[in-house]
Homo-oligomer: A and B are copies of this chain.
Amino acid sequence: MQRHVVVGRTAQLRTEKIPKFSTGLLGQGLITYRNKRYLLWQQAAHRMEIDGKSAGSLVEDAVVWANQHGLVVALKDPKFVNPDFAVIHAPLSLMPVPYPRGRFELAQQVMPLLNRLVDAVADDEGYLESTLGPAALYDTFTGRLLKTLQTTRSARSALRAAGKEVVLGIHRSDYMLDEPSGKFLQVELNTIASSFGCLSALMTQLHLYMASRLPALEPSRLPANPTLEHIPDAIAAAANSVGYREEGGVVVMVVQPGERNAYDQQWIQLGLWERHRLRTVRMTLGDIAATATLDKAQGGTVTLKTGEPVCVFYFRAGYTPADYPSEAEWAARELIEQSNAAKCPTVAYQLAGTKKIQQDLARPGILERFISDGRDAGLLREFFAGLWSLDPKDVATDPGVAAAVVDAIARPEAYVLKPQREGGGNNLYGEELREMLKVGGEQLSAYILMQRILPPANRSVLVRNGQWSESETLNELGIYGTFVRHGKNVLLNEQSGHLVRTKTSSSNEGGVAAGFAVLDSPYLVD
């Protein structure tokens, strides 16, 4: 195959206006934050060209490397007794994506702020209830989570009063680079089941291997990706704070049955064992309901049927109604919430990451309730896209909302309608968006109106299920954060690595596990 393959940016990003809080030299696009200078100009596009034949050979080498290093997903072939036993390379991109170094490093810097923001918002249960209450009227899942929050409140208070509350956050803040402004704008903040942490670290290593093979790629431009260490270390820090290590305390990973992404989870399990001798037990909510017991109704120890106490409940499930097919699963969630184990996340942490909260925090003054330092709040706002509530009350009374709705009807291509339901699917664009807004009414409350982020076009070589293709793509960057607090002591508050997901420009949904996208990694250009 003699096709010519081009990867990398083809358009030059525009230079950007200087944000208000810059103290750098005027006109040079500098920003100084916490005594560190970030250069925000984007100079040239970054292009690499490889011919089609070399691409095929590099793809084979990349796939073999992936299979040698556990950058894999289960094949789920029904002919094996255990479908996890056969694997195939994870969907991947051959070469990394160029990103502006200054903005990338700023996104890393801002993660500990986001970790603190989540903790502060989750701590204000009144705020969560008043902000999400209206949504609960039509979204029974959010409603049920709020109800769980209420019924378990006294257990939480008792734990706090005894100084035994251990809080564990493993978040991922997702951004896309917005070409007009040159900024990373937040797509969403994941506070539950933030996945691909481990496979993304392996992608970094794969691209380092690619850099050793291709002189055009400089290894120093592939930023370090410490997820494989940070994520197990945060879980272990929480487990050690809870205690029960000498009694054989375990981590329970709450999983979905038939999980295809199990290998990303298994790397965390291996890291917990090798780095901390902490054992992980995989259980569904149904398993927990059937076999786990809570010693005391309030702030007590959960014990498994096999006798081990549980130090940490780490959720890789529980974010979708499908994980709660009966009352038993909700009972399991309540049991977990009432226990003295660290929960990643608590119900409050899960609610703090919803799109409605994301939209509400963007309103003037609301973010500042939780982040009082003006510079910190200003830096966070650098990453916020335009977000507007579509509650009938806000549409009627808030001139900002009304103007946005009018503009969105006129220029639907600059907006997106997002349902509050987590898990992707059902975003509305273009004509569908315009129609929904024109019709209006109560049904609009199920959505958030958001500025559409316009990423620059990129070209990538995508490798899936043993086949490769070249295509124009869009890319989404996730930054991981880890946070552990024991009572009033913050033990750990880190930026913990990153993930890039790449999808063809034509598909509107970006979840890798859903089959539309591949794993990638960032390549920093000055």
A466 to B76: give the CA distance in the assembly, Å: 12
Which of A82-90, A130-138, A400-408 interfaces with chain B? A82-90
Query: Are A466 and B86 in contact (CB-based, < 8 A)?
Result: yes
Q: State whether A85 and B70 are in contact (beta carbons under 8 Å apart), knowing that A80-B465, A465-B80, A466-B80 are contacts in the complex.
A: no
Query: Are A75 and B65 in contact (CB-based, < 8 A)?
Result: no
Closest residue of chain B to A82 (Cβ to Cβ) is: B466
Which of A22-30, A266-274, A343-351 interfaces with chain B? A266-274
A263 located at the interface, meaning its Cβ lies under 8 Å from any Cβ of chain B in the complex:
yes
Chain B neighbourhood of A491, CB < 8 A: none
Query: Are A267 and B68 in contact (CB-based, < 8 A)?
Result: yes
A222 located at the interface, meaning its Cβ lies under 8 Å from any Cβ of chain B in the complex:
no
A405 to B360: give the CA distance in the assembly, Å: 93
Closest residue of chain B to A88 (Cβ to Cβ) is: B86
A2 located at the interface, meaning its Cβ lies under 8 Å from any Cβ of chain B in the complex:
no
Interface residues of A in 429-479 (CB under 8 A from B): 465-467
Shortest beta-carbon distance from A372 to chain B in Å? 45
Query: Are B82 and A60 in contact (CB-based, < 8 A)?
Result: yes
A63 located at the interface, meaning its Cβ lies under 8 Å from any Cβ of chain B in the complex:
yes
The copy count of this chain in the complex is: 2
Interface residues of A in 67-119 (CB under 8 A from B): 67-70, 72, 75, 77, 80-82, 84-89
A214 located at the interface, meaning its Cβ lies under 8 Å from any Cβ of chain B in the complex:
no
A64 located at the interface, meaning its Cβ lies under 8 Å from any Cβ of chain B in the complex:
yes
Contact of A87 among B60, B88, B277 (CB under 8 A): B88
Contact of A466 among B68, B72, B85, B465 (CB under 8 A): B85
A212 located at the interface, meaning its Cβ lies under 8 Å from any Cβ of chain B in the complex:
yes
Closest residue of chain B to A71 (Cβ to Cβ) is: B68
Shortest beta-carbon distance from A49 to chain B in Å? 19
A69 to B64: give the CA distance in the assembly, Å: 12
Shortest beta-carbon distance from A156 to chain B in Å? 34
Contact of A77 among B64, B77, B274 (CB under 8 A): B77
Chain B neighbourhood of A89, CB < 8 A: 85
Chain B neighbourhood of A75, CB < 8 A: 75, 86
Given A67-B85, A212-B274, 10 other A-B residues pairs in contact with their CB atoms under 8 A: A60-B82, A63-B84, A64-B263, A67-B87, A68-B69, A68-B263, A77-B77, A80-B467, A85-B89, A213-B273
Interface residues of A (CB under 8 A from B): 60, 63-65, 67-70, 72, 75, 77, 80-82, 84-89, 212-213, 263, 266-267, 270, 273-274, 277, 465-467
